[in-house]
């Protein structure tokens, strides 16, 4: 699976240039950084994509430490798992690579993010119940995204967490095993989620809904590119098969 980036005409035929599946997953990683910044800064320090953070917060809250959020992280964890389960069910019999099911799932993620942005614009984040509901909506979307990315299986890119990516980056570095494998890819993952968090935090200074809109647009753009590329690949394969049969 690859995504259409641009095209040039050569020798009377149209030749497409592509970006890799990695490019699409990096874009989703950026979107996660934006969403997690909104959750942490505006929705009671709840992570919508990074469930490790929520589990740690809940663990500390069990000791009776005051001031730690409980409702938001619990709901985010439940809805993230629900989203991942739904996506896993949808993709259970899907062939490897990008399919119409991936398009539908990621398109749904973009729409859920857009709807959440609209709700944030209309209701704000004043009431605790509202903040927990908005965090749950974002977590649901991130659960679906994470499970879809898992199906697409781009190495080192889960789109929602970077702990394993950082582990691989350090372990395979010159100071570690000196394998030098995937350093650029892993570095890009860390950079993109960081840039996403910076972008989300900056947009939150204006309006948290605007930040979620930005994430929604990125996800919808990835969805469109992935779908177009998959269809293009199918048409090219069919044309190649037809030419081989006729010859």
Tally of structural domains, the chain = 1
Q: Which domain holds residue 122?
A: 20-95+105-239
- Asked, for residue 202, whether it belongs to a domain, the answer is yes
Residue with more model confidence, 33 or 232 = 33
- Asked, for residue 8, whether it belongs to a domain, the answer is no
- Asked, for residue 10, whether it belongs to a domain, the answer is no
46-59 pLDDT per residue, tens: 999 999 999 999 99
Whether 3 has a pLDDT exceeding 50, the answer reads no
Position 239 scores a pLDDT of 64
Of the ranges 150-154, 166-170, 198-202, which one carries the lowest mean pLDDT score? 166-170
- Asked, for residue 50, whether it belongs to a domain, the answer is yes
Residue 185 to residue 140: CA distance in whole angstroms: 27
Task: Give CA angle at 228 (225, 231), nearest 5°.
Answer: 145
CATH number of the domain that 41 lies in?
1.20.1250
- Asked, for residue 57, whether it belongs to a domain, the answer is yes
Whether 221 has a pLDDT exceeding 80, the answer reads yes
87-112 pLDDT per residue, tens: 999 999 999 999 999 999 999 999 99
Largest CA distance in the chain: 76
């Amino acid at each position: 699976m690859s995504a259409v980036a641009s095209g040039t005409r050569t020798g009377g035929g149209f030749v497409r240039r592509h970006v890799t599946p990695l490019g699409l997953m990096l874009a989703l990683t950026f979107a996660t950084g934006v969403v997690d910044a909104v959750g942490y800064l505006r929705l009671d320090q709840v992570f919508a994509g990074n469930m490790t953070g929520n589990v740690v917060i809940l663990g500390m809250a069990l000791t009776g430490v005051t001031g730690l959020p409980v409702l938001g992280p619990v709901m985010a964890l439940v809805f993230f798992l629900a989203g991942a389960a739904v996506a896993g069910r949808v993709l259970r019999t899907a062939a490897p690579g990008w399919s119409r099911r991936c398009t539908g799932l990621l398109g749904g993620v973009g729409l859920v993010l857009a709807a959440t942005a609209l709700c944030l614009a209309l209701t704000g984040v004043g009431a605790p119940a509202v903040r927990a509901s908005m965090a749950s909506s974002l977590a649901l979307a991130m659960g679906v995204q994470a499970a879809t990315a898992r199906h697409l299986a781009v190495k080192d890119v889960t789109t929602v967490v970077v702990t394993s990516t950082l582990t691989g980056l350090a372990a395979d570095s010159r100071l570690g095993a000196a394998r030098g494998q995937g350093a650029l890819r892993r570095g890009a993952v860390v950079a993109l989620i960081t840039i996403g968090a910076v972008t989300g935090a900056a947009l939150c200074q204006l309006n948290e809904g605007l930040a979620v809109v930005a994430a929604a647009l990125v996800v919808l753009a990835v969805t469109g590119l992935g779908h177009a590329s998959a269809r293009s690949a199918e048409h090219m394969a069919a044309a190649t098969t037809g030419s081989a049969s006729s010859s």
